[in-house]
Amino acid sequence: MSTDVATTAVPPQPAASARATVRSARMEGWRRRAPLLPALVFAILVTQIPFLVTLWYSLNSWNLVRPGSERFVGLSNYADVFADRVFRQAALNTVVITAGCVIVAMLLGIALALLLDRRFIGRSVVRTLIITPFLIMPVASALIWGTMMFDPLFGLVNFVLTPFGGGEYDWTSSAPLVSVIIALVWQWTPFMTLLVLAGLQSQGRDVLEAAQVDGAGAGRTFRSITLPHLRRYIELGVLLGAIYVVNTFDQIYIMTQGGPGTASSNLPFYIYQRAFLGFDVGQAAAMGVVVVIGTIVVATLALRLLFRSFAQED
Amino acid sequence: MATVDAVVGPRRRSAGLLTVLTWIIGIVFFFPVLWMVITAFKREADAYTDPPSLIFTPTLEQFRALFDAGAWPYFLNSLFATTVSTLLVLALAVPAAYALAIRPVKKTQDVLFFFISTKMLPVVAVIVPIYVIAGRIGALDNVWTLIVLYTAMNLPIAVWMMRSFLQEIPAEVLEAAAMDGATLRQTLVRVLLPMVAPGLAATALICVIFSWNEFFFSVNLTASQAATVPLFLVGFMTSEGLYWAQLSAAATLASLPVVIAGWVAQKQLVRGLSMGAIK
């Protein structure tokens, strides 16, 4: 902007100033880049270098409790990982937990957003109540669900279900995945609600009124106008939610410890067990690399979407 | 007119029903939180009753017991790690976002792509080397290790958010400042800063939420010295069984700062959670 004005305003002079222009252009380039560098260098140091080290570890056999056991083994850790039944189960559980949580939370989120997108008494109070589960510390929420909600004897969930024939059902041992997903849905529904609500409120009132004038009913209007408009908000919520939920650790650590057995172990929890309870650095690293490759697929989709959202705004 | 009334009648009634339904859902949704707060004011004996009871004599004894049980160091560690990492994130992210939004560099898209891809890197993929390296340089159980990691964790979100806020500033404003002979420093402090203050607040809020609530790094990299609030809560998972009232008091206290911050800044929350994509 102002710099363009400055460079073009320089009267054209021969050789010496041409070199000066080149130099000032280069300096200008650095001036533009300089503010970016600290953040960039920091991010590379703290995230990329450890990942490279993970790659290296994954090619080694190394147990932390046996000093000097480190030796290069090539891809054999990867072969072990894929042959590991528990790893495959943890991978499947990760998919079930992520998909289950994100889909249910999104459906609930859409319903709640539609209810909140009306004028009524105490609307901001109800919205505040609904966003609160997202703000509760996840460790606290996992403890509350694991104990006071799901306890077979004194838990609120069984108490509420008593009239419907619920007995002393032991949620976290008999249905560990469902219990974890319920706690996660409770935490993530507000996130989805807020995103969808923002989408609903960005809708042009005139379009909706036009539809009404044209005689479209509420259901029709929702299907052909609101839903297409909401699409990018829903996609954004699903993908951002998935990125966070894939990494779920707190709820599993606290509510089920991955159990009974390994029934509710997901990848982050299983890798944690292998690294910090089994001290098997090589295998844990190889699993980490596999998770990253899996995440890249989802992440690529998410990034495209984010860029599209920004492109529409710009 | 008669037909209009006929339409409005049932519509108003169904609107009333929807309002009641919304309120009921809101309360059901909030109930676990409410139950946690209620239980925090019970004596342990009142916490385990079948059926669960709402009639009891409220007491502050659980909160008092928390501080006797040594809650302070955990809260101070969390406060320190959250505050310092949030300030560091802003110090790194604001200049970067400025470079990406106001004076875009050639590869802006690539840089943005890089930042966000670091956010998508699962933490389990880096925890092993971080643990080993921190062990070698003697940085285990050190609150500064958490600060560095929380800064890296929140930096991408902050860069994206601040960029989206900075982009909203019309170019004319900066041009006008340049015309009036303002230096870069003056432009930044006097012109830009007041305009992006709400954006800074929103970004800080998101960083505070994520670092205050963070558990994975804390549980793996700290022990007695640098442990944060989530670890204090986990301490209640003992083999002798749980003390629900005590646990509820701790969980209430641990969640309170973020809950209040989130309630106050609901608008900014949406924008932060979508990394600035939704306004």
Which residues in chain B are closer than 8 Å to A43, comparing Cβ atoms? 114-115, 118, 152, 155-156
Residues A35 and A142 occupy one common structural domain: no
Residue B9: pLDDT band (50, 70, 90) is low
Residues B126, A268 contacting (CB under 8 angstroms): no
Q: Which of A 66-105 lie inside 8 A of B, CB atoms? A: none
Residues A27 and A156 occupy one common structural domain: no
A9 has pLDDT over 60: no
| pLDDT given at position A6 | 43
Residues A46 and A156 occupy one common structural domain: no
Q: pLDDT for A187-211, tens place per residue?
A: 999 999 999 999 998 887 788 888 8
Interface contact flag, A126 B26, Cβ < 8 Å: yes
Residues A170 and A224 occupy one common structural domain: yes
| pLDDT given at position A141 | 96
Which residues in chain A are closer than 8 Å to B27, comparing Cβ atoms? 129
Q: What is the CATH number of the domain that holds A166?
A: 1.10.3720.10
A10 has pLDDT over 60: no
Computed over every residue of chain B, the mean pLDDT equals 87
Q: How far is A277 from chain B (nearest CA, A)?
A: 11
Residues A49 and A91 occupy one common structural domain: no
User: Which whole number is the average pLDDT over B154-176?
Assistant: 88
A1 has pLDDT over 50: no
Q: How far is B127 from chain A (nearest CA, A)?
A: 8
Residue of B nearest to A148 (CA): B244
Residue A63 lies in a domain: no
| pLDDT given at position B236 | 83
Residue B253: pLDDT band (50, 70, 90) is very high
B3 has pLDDT over 70: no
Residue A155 lies in a domain: yes
How many independent structural domains does chain A possess? Answer: 2
Residue A311: pLDDT band (50, 70, 90) is low
Q: Which of A 282-301 lie inside 8 A of B, CB atoms? A: 284-285, 287-289, 291-292, 295-296, 298-299
Residues A47 and A109 occupy one common structural domain: no
Residue A65 lies in a domain: no
Residue A85 lies in a domain: yes
Please tell me which of the candidates A40, A126, A249 has its beta carbon nearest to residue B22: A126
Computed over every residue of chain A, the mean pLDDT equals 86
Q: Does A239 touch chain B (CB under 8 A)?
A: no
| pLDDT given at position B1 | 46
- A-B CB pairs within 8 A amount to 303
Single residue among A57, A87, A102 that ends a domain in this structure: A57
Q: How far is B1 from chain A (nearest CA, A)?
A: 18
- B219-236 as b/e, with b when 16 or more CB fall inside 10 Å? bbbbeeebbbbbbbbbeb
Residue A14: pLDDT band (50, 70, 90) is low
Interface contact flag, A195 B278, Cβ < 8 Å: yes
Q: pLDDT for A49-79, tens place per residue?
A: 999 999 999 999 888 777 777 888 888 899 9
Of B52, B30, B40, B34, whose CA–CA distance to B244 is shortest? Answer: B40
User: Which whole number is the average pLDDT over B3-12?
Assistant: 58
Please tell me which of the candidates B113, B130, B278 has its beta carbon nearest to residue A303: B113
Which residues in chain A are closer than 8 Å to B29, comparing Cβ atoms? 129-130, 133, 186, 189
Residues A86 and A49 occupy one common structural domain: no
Straight-line distance from the first to the last Cα atom of chain A, in angstroms, rounded to the nearest whole number: 18
Helix (H/G/I), strand (E/B), else coil: A64: coil
Instruction: Return the residue in A4, A36, A159, A312 with the most chain B beta carbons within 10 A, the one to mutate for interface testing.
Output: A36
| pLDDT given at position A102 | 95
Contacts of A24 (CB under 8 A, 6+ apart): A7
Residue A64 lies in a domain: no
Of B157, B131, B137, B278, whose CA–CA distance to B217 is shortest? Answer: B131
- The percent of residues above 90 in pLDDT, for chain B, comes to 45
Residues A193 and A256 occupy one common structural domain: yes
Q: pLDDT for A240-285, tens place per residue?
A: 898 889 899 999 999 999 888 889 999 999 999 998 888 888 999 9
Residue A72 lies in a domain: no
Higher pLDDT among residues B138 and A67, named by residue = B138
Residues A17 and A91 occupy one common structural domain: no
Residue A36 lies in a domain: yes
Q: pLDDT for B27-74, tens place per residue?
A: 999 999 999 999 999 988 888 877 777 778 888 988 998 888 888 999
Residue of A nearest to B211 (CA): A137
Q: What is the DSSP string of chain B?
A: -HHHHHHHHHHHHHHHHHHHHHHHHHHHHHHHHHHHHHHHTS-HHHHS-SS--S-----SHHHHHHHHTT-HHHHHHHHHHHHHHHHHHHHHHHHHHHHHHTS--TTHHHHHHHHHHHHHS-THHHHHHHHHHHHHTT-TT-HHHHHHHHHHHHHHHHHHHHHHHHHTS-HHHHHHHHHTT--HHHIIIIIIHHHHHHHHHHHHHHHHHHHHH--HHHHHH--SSS--HHHHHHTT--TT---HHHHHHHHHHHHHHHHHHHHHTHHHHHHHHTTTS--
Domain that holds residue A39: 2-57
Q: How far is A165 from chain B (nearest CA, A)?
A: 15
Residues B269, B205 contacting (CB under 8 angstroms): yes
Higher pLDDT among residues A299 and A79, named by residue = A79
Residues A221 and A270 occupy one common structural domain: yes
Residues A98 and A233 occupy one common structural domain: yes
Residue A18: pLDDT band (50, 70, 90) is confident
Residues A126 and A8 occupy one common structural domain: no
